[in-house]
């Protein structure tokens, strides 16, 4: 299977064309037909679209599902945003997860992308890299708990990223987590025989202050002592690590694209199980920075991993901290799996919304009122990890997390968009949501924000320059 750009229409291929495309005078008469055979024996198949890029993704994706061994040509739009949507769809449609299948991979078509636009040809390599990053996220996220253990995920991430330039990776084991007082994280892993790990990925494409990305990595979530009762969906708790795998994919894409930014990713991986050593409701655990947390609900474990990682990120004096997590089922209920929920800094939320709409990975923000922050304050400890009510858990979780960052911060709950079986152009399972969104977001944020450089060399050279200027002035005065 191939997906490649061409600038001449092949003779024998089936050509997929959006219904609003004008081919010739004759084509206007057959606008209602699905198929059209031209004079030169080219077979055109129309797919339905409206004026949104999302309609192009869905219309083209549904049509591609009908073909397997054929050679398909997709006629790309002259509009760059629509052409990008078409390219992304074709690349995503080729993904198939098969590591644990004994059956052969199903036949898929060779896809040729027809365009004469230089701008579209230039953007193609970037879309291929973004697709590779999405597939990397899907590969990690789809792993069941017995294959995707914390240690195994660390090893797979190291194996994938170690050859990239300007990138370094650390993997902390349980001993190092204890040494660094990651107590909240360790409390989540207490009942599991599988030890937790923390992957720290640093991509230095510039000397600017780092942007810290933190991903929740619960490799399987049983709920702990507050055990989950939803038997029908318990199998899907392997997807509770998608926040962490998404961060790995974002950094992979940025490093391959050589973006001039400084990124640090924190990937805390752990299981949340039930056993004789499990943390119990009512236990009080001290965070890395000394905040005492009452464990009001052991099934609100993801925010404990994120809290310790956020406090670790504070040590790097970042420009911005964003945490990404499948944190609450209510994030899915609010938008029905059509958008992620953002809470935190208004400027960041607005930028995420803007780029989410542009690349069809939608984000909507919610307000963090003082009432929600008061709801996580506690009579026993400094704070508790869950509000007293089951309502507004999306905001209660954000309220809890807001206690930990010392720098500009945003929380992104992707529980509703992390995995799906109803997107026409994506294989069932993890969606790879967030790669397109964050590549676009980081590009603009990097250009629009005035950073304070961390480079010691620059500060020294500036001091030397000022000393030289002063000495020259003294000479002139004499």
Give Cβ neighbours of residue 112 (< 8 Å, ≥ 6 apart).
Answer: 2, 3, 4, 5, 6, 10, 13, 71, 72, 73, 74
Instruction: Give which of 108, 115, 109 is closest to 80, Cα–Cα.
Output: 115
Q: Compute the distance between CA of residue 304 and CA of residue 405 in angstroms, rounded to an integer.
A: 13
| Cβ contact 427:96 at 8 Å | yes
Q: How far is CA 315 from the centre of its chain?
A: 23
φ, ψ at 75 (rounded to 5°): -80, 110
Cβ-based neighbours of 430, under 8 Å, separated by 6 or more: 137, 138, 141, 142, 239, 242, 245, 418, 419
Catalytic residue among 151, 228, 406, 408: 228
Classified as helix, coil or strand, 142 is coil
> Torsions phi, psi of 199, nearest 5?
-90, 130
What kind and span of H or E run contains 102? none
Judge whether 303 counts as a catalytic residue.
yes
List all residues 6 or more positions away from 101 whose beta carbon is below 8 Å from its beta carbon. Answer: none
Assigned token pair, 200: 């720290």
Q: Which neighbouring-strand residues pair with 214?
A: 266, 323
Residue 331 CA from chain centroid, whole number: 16
3-class DSSP assignment, residue 26 = helix
For CA atoms 268, 91, 254, 154, the dihedral sign is positive
Measured distance CA(233)–CA(169) in Å, rounded: 34
Neighbours of 119 (CB within 10 A): 10
Q: Which residue has the tokens 């052409």?
A: 83
Q: Is 71 exposed, middle or buried (0-12, 13-18, 19+ CB in 10 A)?
A: middle
Residues whose CB is less than 8 angstroms from the CB of residue 315 and which lie 6 or more positions away in sequence, other chains included: none
Which ranges of 328-455 would DSSP assign to H, the alpha helix?
Answer: 330-335, 346-359, 370-375, 393-401, 435-448
Of 138, 160, 216, 303, which residue is the catalytic one? 303
Burial 164-179 (b: 16+ CB within 10 A, else e): beebebebbebeebee
Residues annotated catalytic, as ranges: 228, 303
């Amino acid at each position: 299977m191939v997906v490649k750009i061409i600038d001449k229409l092949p003779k024998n291929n089936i050509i997929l064309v959006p219904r609003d495309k004008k081919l010739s005078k004759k084509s206007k008469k057959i606008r209602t037909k699905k198929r059209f055979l031209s004079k030169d024996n080219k077979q055109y198949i129309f797919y339905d679209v409206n004026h949104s890029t999302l309609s192009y993704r869905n219309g083209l994706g549904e049509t591609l599902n009908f073909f397997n061994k054929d050679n398909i040509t997709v006629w790309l739009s002259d509009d760059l945003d629509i052409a990008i949507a078409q390219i992304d769809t074709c690349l995503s449609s080729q993904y198939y997860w098969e590591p644990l299948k004994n059956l052969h991979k199903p036949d898929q078509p060779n896809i040729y992308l027809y365009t004469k636009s230089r701008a579209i040809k230039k953007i193609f390599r970037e879309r291929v890299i973004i697709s590779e990053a999405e597939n990397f996220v899907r590969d990690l996220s789809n792993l069941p708990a017995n294959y995707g253990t914390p240690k195994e995920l660390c090893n797979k991430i190291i194996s994938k990223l170690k050859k990239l330039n300007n990138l370094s990776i650390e993997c902390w084991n349980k001993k190092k987590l204890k040494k660094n007082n990651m107590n909240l994280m360790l409390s989540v892993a207490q009942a599991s025989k599988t030890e937790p790990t923390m992957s720290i990925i640093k991509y230095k494409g510039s000397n600017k202050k780092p942007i810290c990305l933190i991903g929740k990595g619960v490799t399987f979530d049983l709920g702990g002592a507050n055990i989950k009762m939803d038997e029908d969906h318990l199998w899907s708790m392997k997807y509770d690590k998608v926040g962490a795998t998404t961060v790995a994919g974002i950094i992979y894409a940025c490093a391959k694209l050589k973006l001039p930014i400084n990124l640090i990713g924190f990937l805390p991986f752990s299981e949340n199980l039930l056993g004789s050593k499990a943390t119990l409701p009512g236990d009080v655990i001290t965070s890395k920075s000394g905040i005492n947390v009452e464990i009001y609900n052991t099934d609100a474990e993801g925010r404990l991993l994120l809290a310790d990682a956020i406090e670790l990120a504070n040590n790097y004096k970042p420009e911005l901290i964003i945490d990404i997590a499948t944190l609450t089922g209510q994030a899915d209920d609010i938008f029905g799996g059509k958008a992620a929920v953002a809470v935190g800094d208004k400027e960041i939320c607005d930028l995420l919304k803007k780029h989410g709409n542009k690349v069809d990975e939608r984000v909507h923000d919610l307000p963090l009122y003082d009432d929600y922050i008061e709801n996580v304050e506690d009579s026993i400890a400094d704070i508790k990890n869950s509000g007293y009510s089951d309502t507004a858990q999306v905001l209660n979780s954000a309220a809890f997390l807001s206690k930990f960052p010392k720098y500009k911060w945003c929380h992104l709950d992707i529980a509703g968009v992390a995995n799906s079986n109803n997107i026409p152009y994506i294989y069932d399972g993890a969606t790879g949501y967030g790669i397109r969104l964050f590549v676009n977001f980081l590009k603009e944020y990097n250009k629009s924000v005035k950073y304070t450089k961390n480079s010691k060399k620059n500060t020294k050279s500036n001091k030397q320059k000022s000393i030289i200027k002063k000495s020259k002035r003294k000479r002139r005065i004499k």
